[in-house]
Chains A and B, each alone.
Chain A
Amino acid sequence: MSFSSSHASPWLAGSDAPEKTQLKLGFVPLTDCAPVVVAKMRDFGRRHGIEIELCRQPSWAAVRDKLLSGEIDAAHTLYGLVYGVQLGIGGPQADMAVLMTLSQNGQAITLSNQLAASLRGVGNLRQALECEPRKPVFAQTFPTGTHALWLYYWLAAQDVHPLKEVRSVVIPPPQMSDALARGELDGFCAGEPWHAVAEARKVGQTVVSSSEIWPDHPEKVLACRRDFAALYPNSARALTMAVLEACQWLESVEHRREAAAWLSTDSITGAPVDLIAPRLLGDYGGSPLRQPPRPLRFFADGAVNFPYLSDGLWFLSQYRRWGLLREAQDLAGIAAAVNQTALYREAASALGIPVPEQATRSSVLIDGLSWQGEAAEAYADGFAIRAAD
């Protein structure tokens, strides 16, 4: 129990102390929940005046409901889920807040052995799918989530319409391998360790990493209700600082090995450490990937964690593209309200972590199209494959 004065938070003084000190943090058992697990295990909340309680959730729907009911204060969640709830797509609407990005990369698409072989044989996905005896079935994890959008983007980039030419379903990730083995699925997009599990069971092959679809794409975020951030700004900042320190801690290989052991415990994922550690450390073994995947990143000197407005805006652009959001709205205004850039700046600056000057970044995705982080509506309109109007 040491209190290092050199790291003591200036916010603890006077009225900057956290308004709420016991924070319940939801997470879904995945390799990339590492930042919240590390924040808890290393007790990074303590010197910021908070105590974190981890609450494992069995589904993304449960994460959403418990955030909205107040049963949990904040959560490790899919970037897209936050924006889906903000817009009320397919469920309740609530004003949401992204406190920081927790991770980039680290997701993948795994195909059944048969489809993977067929793809290797004919060389392109469209033709490989045409050989399938039924409409191909692909699974992801939540209708407005990141995996749905990586899958749709990847299919469309290969001239396959994700809403017309495949059946898109959601299967709980721990059951993906069984579904592949039983022939119910032709492929799935999800987080780790579920691809490593499918390969270890020899029921499928990882053919593309999410970093090939969008290099350094945003993935999970630390999210809460907007009124939580407004009512308890000091708690929200303290939590952001604690989790940022956890992300920083995860930079070292030794620490990641240590984290892999924690992640494999029954109270977190319950998956064997041999299936978590390699991909957490960037080793994809013999997977038939076209490109070596970019590593699952948690920090990169803060480059991962800034809640770029352009990242939030990208999800909105894809909801327009796929008809999940039917009416045109002030998309940039929505992203600016959801992503708590000011709060993040305070938290990162207090820790001496660099904050980017620009709140947008640009990227080139797998189809060669560039995303400049603005004019989301025109960007969405520019895709040849999109939902019918």
Chain B
Amino acid sequence: MLRVLLVNDTEKPIGELRMALSVQGYDILAEVATPHALLAAVEGQRPDVVIIDTESPSRDTLEQLAVMNTHAPRPVVMFTQDADQQLIRAAVGAGVTAYVVDGLAPAKLAPIIEAALARFAEESRLRQRLAEVEQKLSDRKLIDRAKGLLMDKRQMSEAAAYDTLRSQAMKQGAKLADIAKQIIAMADLLG
């Protein structure tokens, strides 16, 4: 039975994988939330797999263990274009990283990664969508401000101001929001 350690030290609730993994028959060790506890758990309880938020600051603690202790889990190499690495790449996309002991067959890791994906991939997609919406909103604001500046300083109509921005963007091969930023910066500079 594979022994799995869940590191729950960021906003991403890695610990919530306990249920899903337990019912699949994995031996889930008591989860840890600090580098100190992580050290004690890896050295004292010898997990086969460690699941951790990709953005966790405690990852370097695991890196040290991987170098100093041949029995400690090592980072999964995830950058080959190999088809059977797709799962690992999906995990990276969902912000989940696995460390596994040397010699563990990739097939054995797959169900664990799948459980992590089921829990976190959707959330990560939602977050990305939210970020895109926020970006669009802030772009909108910039463009409106630049339009306002052109209308105010150049007495342009709103349509003419928008056309000016658009043709500049096309000429420079830049995004509309970037042109808007330039105009705002210029206006700030010139007062």
Interface residues of A (CB under 8 A from B): 1, 58-62, 65, 68-69, 89-92, 94, 140-144, 148, 168-172, 174-175, 179, 182, 184, 324
Interface on chain B toward A: helix, strand, loop, or mixed SS?
helix
B74 on the A face (CB < 8 A): yes
Stretch at the interface among B22-30, B62-70, B104-112, B160-168: B62-70
Given contacts A91-B75, A91-B77, A172-B35, contact A59 B59 (CB under 8 A): yes
Q: Return the 7 tightest CB-CB contacts between A and B, nearest first.
A: A90-B67, A143-B67, A172-B57, A170-B64, A61-B59, A59-B59, A92-B77
Q: How far is the CB of B175 from chain A (nearest CB, A)?
A: 11
B45 on the A face (CB < 8 A): no
Which residues of chain A are near B77, meaning CB under 8 Å?
91-92
Per-residue CB contact flags for chain B residues 29-63 toward chain A (1 = under 8 Å, else 0) read 00000111001000000000000001111111111
Verify A171–B61 contact, CB threshold 8 A. Answer: yes
Which residues of chain B are near A59, meaning CB under 8 Å?
55-60
Count of CB-CB pairs between chains A and B under 8 Å:
89
Q: How far is the CB of A203 from chain B (nearest CB, A)?
A: 15
Verify A142–B92 contact, CB threshold 8 A. Answer: no
Our pick among B57, B75, B182 for the contact of A92 (Cβ within 8 Å) is B75
Verify A168–B79 contact, CB threshold 8 A. Answer: no
Given contacts A68-B79, A92-B77, A184-B36, contact A168 B64 (CB under 8 A): yes
Instruction: Give the bracket for the number of chain B residues in contact with chain A.
Output: 20 to 34
Given contacts A91-B74, A143-B68, A175-B35, contact A169 B55 (CB under 8 A): no
B185 on the A face (CB < 8 A): yes
Our pick among A1, A90, A174, A175 for the contact of B63 (Cβ within 8 Å) is A90
Q: Please measure, in the bound complex, the distance between the C-alpha atom of A61 and the C-alpha atom of B53, giving whole angstroms.
A: 12
Q: How far is the CB of B31 from chain A (nearest CB, A)?
A: 18
Q: How far is the CB of B52 from chain A (nearest CB, A)?
A: 10
B36, B55, B78: which has the most chain A beta carbons within 10 Å? B36
Can you give 29 contacting A-B residue pairs, CB < 8 Å?
A: A1-B185, A58-B56, A59-B55, A59-B56, A59-B57, A59-B59, A61-B75, A62-B54, A62-B59, A65-B78, A69-B78, A69-B92, A89-B67, A90-B63, A91-B77, A92-B79, A142-B60, A142-B64, A143-B63, A148-B64, A168-B68, A169-B35, A169-B61, A169-B64, A170-B61, A171-B35, A171-B61, A175-B34, A182-B36
